[in-house]
Amino acid sequence: HNQIEQHNDSLLTSHQRKLNNLKADWSHLDIESIIQKLVDFQIAIPSWALGTGGTRFGRFAITGGEPRTIEEKIEDVGLLHALNGASGSISLHIPWDIPQNATELKALASSYGLTFDAVNSNTFQDQADAAHSYKFGSLQNVNKAIRKQAIEHNIEVIKQGVALDSNALTVWLADGSCFPGQLNFRKAFENTLESLEEIYSALPEDWKMFVEYKAFEPNFYSTTVGDWGQSLLYASKLGKKAYTLVDLGHHLPNANIEQIVSLLLMEGKLGGFHFNDSKYGDDDLTAGSIKPYQLFLIFNELVEGMDAKGMNHAKDLGWMIDASHNVKDPLEDLLQSVEAIMLAYAQALFVDRKALIEAQETNDVAKAQEILQNTFRSDLRSIVAEARLRAGAALSPIGLYRNLSCRNNLVQQRGQKTVATGL
């Protein structure tokens, strides 16, 4: 903490100057309440993004000091949270993560100010000790015994999550087909729904189930939860605890994600996000690295829609990152993702809503565009930095991470050739 204070002191004068200019330019806004919203906003870090990433063509180790255990993954997220004050939870993927002593893990997490976000089940890979293979799908499988195995795994994940005080299960299925004729779409849907119903009935009262959709990969002819329409269909049939989860990389090219978000919110069925960015497919690149304007437009709909419904921005949806790459230090990569998400949120909070509604009501198209682009093109980084400062975090998270040689320290502690569990 001393190190954070020293770091902040060294940047304070320049920070203050930028912030004051910004406040003067935007004096019509309630800046204090915007800063408070940014302080409250937390984004969950995926446990699987902390170590070696890769593609189906290969995996390259990170620069060393990779977390080997859940405990070390929690330490890494604790470090991120200390630096940016906005990464207050970790999302586990089971069985890539095998939480053994929930009481100890909770104590460790809370010593870093962390909680456990949604737990993820995994029926897209075969486990060494499993009786059945998921080669032809899990919850959709034509074989009831295989469906049962997948259902039981999900129920086990819920139990693990309950012990960790998590309150949501994310179900992403690789289920689908590779070739025409392989699958009866209706039966696959019905089997999947029936399986999800069994999982749903094992959810505690205050839990949510997130049904994540994806248009393609690993199946390339059909995916059984392939788009937001199918996810919404499952979630609607399941009941009020089931929601659609939007992963930004899971759409067909050029999909209007902001419109999807707006309508899911309208229906009360938007559960949350897996943030990442992409140029081609499910690239899982750093959030905001390719299409920052799209990220802003999504947040613009989120703020508009959540305010219309009186929702709490920080608490009422699941905010998660699902991005990882291995040409960067994963911790720096995650700091960049969180920063991009916070910035897009800040930009959306700065939009002149009243003027936008007026422009929309009078079909003043150019004005509407001006309003959105005006905030998007304004440099709001100092507002996000101010939120970090108030949260006791660093004005420049990556700057401090580098100054303190955090990666080197991890290599010293853990060794050069450590390999994280998981993908």
Q: CB nearer to ligand PSV: give 123 or 336.
A: 123
Residues 281-340 that bind ligand PSV (CB under 6 A): 282, 322
Q: Pick from ligand PSV, Mn ion, none: which does 227 bind, CB < 5 to 8 A by kind?
A: none
As a whole number of angstroms, the distance between CA 86 and CA 388 comes to 8
Helix then strand then coil, in percent of the chain rounded to 5, is 50, 10, 40
Q: CB nearer to ligand PSV: give 26 or 124.
A: 124
Q: What is the largest CA-CA distance in the chain?
A: 66
Cis peptide, bond prior to residue 95, ω within 30 of zero? yes
Choosing from 322, 329, 333, 339, the residue that interacts with Mn ion (CB under 5 A) is: 322
Residue 37 burial by Cβ neighbours in a 10 Å radius (0-12, 13-18, 19+) = middle
| Phi, psi values for residue 318, rounded to 5° | -90, 120
Closest residue by Cα to residue 120 from 85, 69, 164: 164
* Residue 8, amino acid: N
Residues making up the chain, counted from first to last: 423
Map residues 110-149 to x or -, x wherever contact with ligand PSV holds by CB under 6 A: ----------x-----------------------------
Question: Contact between 227 and Mn ion (CB under 5 A)?
Answer: no
CB of 308 to ligand PSV, least distance (A): 28
Question: Contact between 277 and Mn ion (CB under 5 A)?
Answer: no
Q: CB nearer to ligand PSV: give 81 or 214.
A: 214
Among positive and negative, which fits the CA dihedral 391, 82, 404, 277? negative
Which tokens go with 147?
């469906």
Question: Contact between 423 and ligand PSV (CB under 6 A)?
Answer: yes
CB of 214 to Mn ion, least distance (A): 6
Choosing from 282, 329, 333, 386, the residue that interacts with Mn ion (CB under 5 A) is: 282
CB 224 within 8 A of CB 172: no
CB of 230 to ligand PSV, least distance (A): 15
CB of 284 to ligand PSV, least distance (A): 7
Residues 6 or more apart whose Cβ sits within 8 Å of residue 183 = 140, 176, 177, 222, 224
CA angle 256, 342, 308 (to 5 degrees): 60
DSSP string, 60-81: ---SS----SHHHHHHHHHHHH
Q: Pick from Mn ion, ligand PSV, none: which does 73 bind, CB < 5 to 8 A by kind?
A: none
CB of 249 to Mn ion, least distance (A): 5
Residues 166-225 that bind ligand PSV (CB under 6 A): 172, 212, 214
Choosing from 15, 274, 388, 407, the residue that interacts with Mn ion (CB under 5 A) is: 274
Question: Contact between 247 and Mn ion (CB under 5 A)?
Answer: yes
CB of 251 to ligand PSV, least distance (A): 12
Residues 242-261 that bind ligand PSV (CB under 6 A): 247
Q: Pick from ligand PSV, Mn ion, none: which does 120 bind, CB < 5 to 8 A by kind?
A: ligand PSV
Q: CB nearer to Mn ion: give 225 or 391.
A: 225
Q: CB nearer to Mn ion: give 114 or 118.
A: 118
Which region, judged by CB under 5 A, interacts with Mn ion, from 289-297, 308-316, 322-330, 354-362? 322-330
Helical spans, DSSP H, in 41-136: 70-84, 102-111
CB of 112 to ligand PSV, least distance (A): 23
Residues 6 or more apart whose Cβ sits within 8 Å of residue 397 = 80, 83, 84, 335, 339, 388
In 3-state terms, what secondary structure has residue 152?
helix
User: Residues interacting with ligand PSV, by CB under 6 A?
Assistant: 48, 120, 172, 212, 214, 247, 274, 282, 322, 423
